Amino acid sequence: MAAAFGAASAAFLPRLAHRLAVGFAEPPRPHCADCLRPFSAGFPGWVRVGAACPCSGGYAFPVLTGAVVAAVLAVTVGPAPELPVYLLVAGPGVLLAMIDRRCLRLPDPLVGALAITAAAPLAILWPSRIGLAAGAAVAVLTAYAILAFFGGLGLGDVKLAAVLALILGFAGWPAVVIGVLMPHVINGPVALFLLVTGRASRRRPIAFGPALLAGALVGLALQQP
């Protein structure tokens, strides 16, 4: 059931990712980037099941990703009160990863929505862990801000890392540590492969958001309270 929910939710993401994957301070894309067909105004222009546009290719990858993420959460967390919270924020997480891969941006509104959607219910479930979660967020924010200062990360990565640390903090410090270390373990081989194949260079940085989100998933999966 969780996998079906994740797949169904992810089926709505290609259109959203296509419209939101734009440059800094640019408005959402008003038309298809491939065929230039304008998107409808209002709600119908944003909500579409399947590919971003009829001219686009398949959408199996985001659907499969949503199903796998939801299934991993269901198997590792089990029938716990926090499972619906994690399943609810999995969709925005996949959306952020899709956008970052396309345009190397993590839109602040989506990162903020991820924080509110997860932190508010988790704080209600575990009020005694609010301090731990806040401390984890501040610690990771400080560490990643230092990395960004030396040119290792973008500010979007710093904000997302802090939000994910806040969420992981409710599961305990081991989850935070795993969630902080795993993105670098994941992104290392990916970066090497892209550099060797010529798909990345100093002038073409690599999206770090997907690794941050995958690391947070691993942290939750390996360390439950």
Q: How many domains does the chain have?
A: 1
Per-residue pLDDT of the chain (225 residues; tens, 9 = 90+): 999 999 999 999 999 999 999 988 899 999 998 899 999 989 999 999 999 998 887 789 999 999 999 999 999 999 999 999 999 999 999 999 999 999 999 999 999 999 999 999 999 999 999 999 999 999 999 999 998 888 768 899 999 999 999 999 999 999 999 999 999 898 877 767 766 666 565 566 778 999 999 999 999 998 754
Range of the domain at 175: 2-222
The per-residue b/e assignment along 51-84, b for 16 or more CB within 10 angstroms, e otherwise, is: bbbeebeebeebbebbbbbbbbbbebbeeeebbe
Tell me the C-alpha distance between 145 and 176, whole Å.
17
